[in-house]
Amino acid sequence: MSEEYLSFKEMCAKFDVTPRTLRYYEYIELLSPKREGRSRFYGPREVARMTLIMRGRRYHFQLEELRQWLLIYDREGTQVQYQTFTDMADRKLVELHEQKTQLEESIAELEELRAFTAKAAAGEA
């Protein structure tokens, strides 16, 4: 194999994932490494796909969403993939803003309850 290919172990190290994760991504057809016997080798295409997968996971996209999105590139090209990502990102941003609001409300409630409890524990309530 040429230098531009990463071994299974190198791919795990590069993306800080477990072997189980990498095998699972292959199983659900997110990745398609080249094979030589039982060995797997990951070329530039697979490294780029893994970079996008990891980025998508960081923003809490579901693996199936990512798989469908990656298929769009293969079937319809870059422009359609960009538009699809824009739509996906818009939906995710709404979801994340809602979660942020809920977290801010929970934090405020917990701070209030904590302050009340701290006063009660000090005999000030």
Q: Is 22 exposed, middle or buried (0-12, 13-18, 19+ CB in 10 A)?
A: buried
Phi and psi for 43 in degrees, rounded to 5? -90, -175
Q: Tell me: do 66 and 81 sit in the same domain.
A: no
Quick one: 91 and 72 in the same domain? no
Q: Are 121 and 114 in contact (CB under 8 A)?
A: no
| pLDDT at residue number 3 | 64
The predicted structure's pLDDT at residue 124: 78
Residues 61 and 101 in one domain: no
11 and 70, same structural domain?
A: yes
Q: Are residues 65 and 108 in the same domain?
A: no
User: Do 84 and 72 meet the contact criterion of CB atoms below 8 Å apart?
Assistant: yes
Do 68 and 88 fall into the same domain?
A: no
Task: State the number of CA atoms in the 13 A half-sphere of 19 facing the CB.
Answer: 5
Q: pLDDT band for 125, please (50, 70, 90 cuts).
A: low
Q: Do 58 and 82 have their domain in common?
A: no
- Give the containing element (helix H, strand E) for 26: helix 19-27
The burial class, CB within 10 Å (0-12 / 13-18 / 19+), for 32 is: middle
pLDDT in tens, 57-78: 999 999 999 999 999 988 999 9
> Do 120 and 92 belong together in one domain?
yes
| Count of domains forming the chain | 2
Domain identity same for 54 and 83: no
Q: Say what percent of the chain tops pLDDT 90.
A: 93
The pLDDT score that the predictor gives to residue 19 is 97
Query: What domain range includes position 38?
Result: 1-76
pTM: 0.79
**Same domain? 71 vs 88:** no
Cβ distance 11 to 42 under 8 Å? Answer: yes
